[in-house]
Amino acid sequence: MNTYLIDAKEFYGALSDADDFERDLATYLQAGYVVSSPNSIIFGKPVRKDGGDPVTQWWDDESQCDAWFVKFACGDGMYSKFIEAMPFKLPYIGWVRERKDKPVRYWRCEQILRRK
């Protein structure tokens, strides 16, 4: 049995957001991008690095964006799967490590592609 959804709910629960997994899933299915496989799930969306908090950024015109923001990722090979499934390339990709309480860090997409 695949457990990535259970792992995801537990992760959100550890952040005191247990019910927010479904909210984020619905939001990213409607307005962002969700990549799911039997072994992983990832939520992402295009943002502007200089546009403030990426969690609150939602762009109707994605050509205004210069980075992918990964809100959540869980499972095996999730970054590779997200990069393969990106509908278009942007110069940067960033994510936040919630458990480390650090701000979003953006990387040049080529750096991530090399690690794939």
pLDDT of residue 38: 79
Give CA–CA dist 2/17, Å, rounded: 22
For residue 41, the model assigns a pLDDT of 85
The reported pLDDT for the residue numbered 18 is 57
- Using 70 as the pLDDT threshold, list the residues of the chain that sit under it: 1-2, 16-19, 79, 97-101, 113-116
pLDDT at 86: 81
What is the reported pLDDT for 1? 47
Quick one: pLDDT at residue 63?
92
